[in-house]
Amino acid sequence: MKIATIVGARPQFIKAAPLSKTLREKHREILIHTGQHYDRGMSDVFFQQLGLPLPDFQLAAGSATHGRQTARMLEGIEEILLQAKPDIVLVYGDTNSTVAGSLAASKLHIPIAHVESGLRSYNRAMPEEINRVVTDHLSSLLFCPTDQALRQLKAEGIEQGVHLVGDIMVDGVQANLGIALKQSSILETMQLAPRSYCVATIHRAENTDSPHAMEQILKGLSSLGDTVILPLHPRTASCLEKWKLTAQLGRKGFIRVCDPLPYLDMLRLCHHAKAIITDSGGLQKEAYLLGVPCLTIRKETEWVETIDAGWNRLLPAESLAIQDAYAALSRPAAAPSLYGDGNTASRIRKLIEAYMLTMQ
């Protein structure tokens, strides 16, 4: 069986690593990198640390408006699929790379398998929500991480080809946390003691595109009383420059800005953090898997289980709300197993194999 896997952004590299390893034990995988994340800190280093094979095709789509970026990817992916003729196309998550790959495959009548299917924020202002809805409705195989995702697909009339498999991120964390704790020296390099700092990431358009929201977030982060490590996404850096807010990063000396970190460094940094403050979808879940309380600066989340379990809290982009929530932080006594047992990659491979047998 020939499988075309499409990735383009940091979270997809992390999710693809365990599944790619499993697929290549028995099948041929063609890896297509769209170049949505294209610099070394957001791309190359992840391939090296996660053991992902080098891409067979690299599109270098780069950054642009959503329409232009997706169009570049769609054109490039279509050309590759026509040349490679895969039996199935595998996509991850909710990025422009995901929807471009799904559209290209569907037009060529190639079955699509969607990993991390069924997530919904019910906020159509989010580009990610559009991407995941379109991809789910085009897919032949839909791999759900949670019961909630399963129910949300059913509510939209999608029941065929839907499978509850657990979350592929669990496979990745289980495989790499021990390595990160042994190999990463990030705490020593930054002179940080465990539980003495928090990690923050901000990159979603609803925050970065608003000068008021970004000013409030920075004000809140700088007033927590603890060191805040802020790996700065290129999009965020550009917006801070645009809104003339870079001077606020050094306020009171609590916010320490760094470039995007390699996966193993980020994993160890988050593992030992007092809290994680983010608007990222994936980092909310990683925080839960690592047993670290999370404050999410968004109006909604796809990972509602983390809220219900008491490990995550939604916050408005307001300085006082961030300060108050951080001051009231607590670590729940229990962390139920919400996202599976770390064998998601194996389940997905078997389900793809079974599906392809029915297509012969």
180 shares its domain with 162 = no
What is the pLDDT averaged over residues 161-177? Answer: 97
Q: Are residues 152 and 223 in the same domain?
A: no
Mean pLDDT of the chain: 93
Question: d(Cα 260, Cα 250) in Å, to the nearest integer?
Answer: 18
Residue 333, domain member (yes or no): no
Q: What is the pLDDT of residue 252?
A: 55
Question: Which pLDDT score is estimated for 40?
Answer: 52
Residue 258 shares a structural domain with residue 219: yes
The per-residue pLDDT for 294 is 98
Within-domain flag for 334: no
Of 61, 63, 66, 7, give the one whose Cα is nearest residue 31: 7
Find the domain containing 298 and state its range. 174-327
Least confident piece of the model among 267-271, 279-283, 310-314:
279-283
Instruction: Indicate whether 342 pLDDT > 80.
Output: yes
User: Which pLDDT does position 98 carry in this prediction?
Assistant: 97
Catalytic: 233?
no
**Residues 62, 138 share a domain:** yes
**What 3-state DSSP class applies to 178?**
helix
Pairing of strands 57-58, 141-144: unpaired
Tens digits of residue pLDDT in 131-140: 999 999 999 9
pLDDT of residue 328: 96
Give me the mean pLDDT over the 9-37 stretch.
92
Same domain, 203 and 93: no
**Pair (144, 261) in one structural domain:** no
Distance from CA of residue 188 to its chain's centroid?
27
Domain for residue 81, yes or no? yes
Q: Is residue 39 part of a domain?
A: yes
Q: How far is CA 81 from the centre of its chain?
A: 25
Judge whether residue 64 has pLDDT over 70: no
The predicted model scores a pTM of 0.93
335 in any annotated domain = no
Going by C-alpha positions, the residue among 11, 63, 12, 99 that lies closest to residue 235 is 63
Separation CA 110–CA 189 (nearest Å): 48
143 falls within a domain: yes
Q: Contact 34/5 with Cβ under 8 angstroms?
A: no
For 270-292, what is each residue's pLDDT tens digit? 999 999 999 998 999 999 999 99
Which position has the token pair 């599109």?
59
Q: Is 6 within the bounds of a domain?
A: yes
Q: Say if residue 269 is in the same domain as residue 290.
A: yes
Which of 46-60, 132-146, 220-234 ranks highest by mean pLDDT?
132-146
What's the sign of the alpha-carbon dihedral 25, 172, 30, 107?
positive
**Rounded Cα–Cα distance for residues 146 and 152 (Å):** 10
Q: Annotate 244-296 with DSSP letters as a single string.
A: T-GGGGGGGGTEEEEPPPPHHHHHHHHHT-SEEEE--HHHHHHHHHHT--EEE
Of 22, 24, 144, 9, nearest to 63 by C-alpha is 9
Q: Alpha-carbon distance 352 to 38, whole Å? A: 29
**pLDDT of 345:** 98
253 pLDDT band, cuts 50/70/90, is low
> H or E element: which one contains 215?
helix 211-221
* Domain shared by 79 and 134, yes or no: yes
pLDDT value of residue 48: 82
Residues 10 and 33 placed together within one structural domain of the fold: yes
Active-site entry in 203, 233, 271, 272:
203
Q: What is the CATH number of the domain that holds 241?
A: 3.40.50.2000
For the segment 72-88, the average pLDDT, to the nearest whole number, is: 96
Instruction: Indicate if 14 and 125 belong to the same structural domain.
Output: yes
Q: What is the distance between the alpha carbons of residues 323 and 295, in angstroms, rounded to a whole number?
A: 11
Using pLDDT thresholds of 50, 70 and 90, give the confidence band for residue 359. Answer: confident
Pick from 321, 327, 203: nearest CA to 274: 327
Do 231 and 349 have their domain in common? Answer: no
Number of Cβ within 10 Å of residue 49's Cβ equals: 21
For residue 332, is it within any domain? no
| Judgement on whether residues 31 and 63 belong to the same structural domain of the protein | yes
**Domain tally, the chain:** 2
- Beta strands at 227-231 and 312-314: parallel, antiparallel or unpaired: unpaired
Q: How far from the centroid of its chain's Cα atoms is residue 213's Cα?
A: 22
| pLDDT the model gives residue 9 | 86
pLDDT range class, residue 45, cuts 50, 70, 90: confident
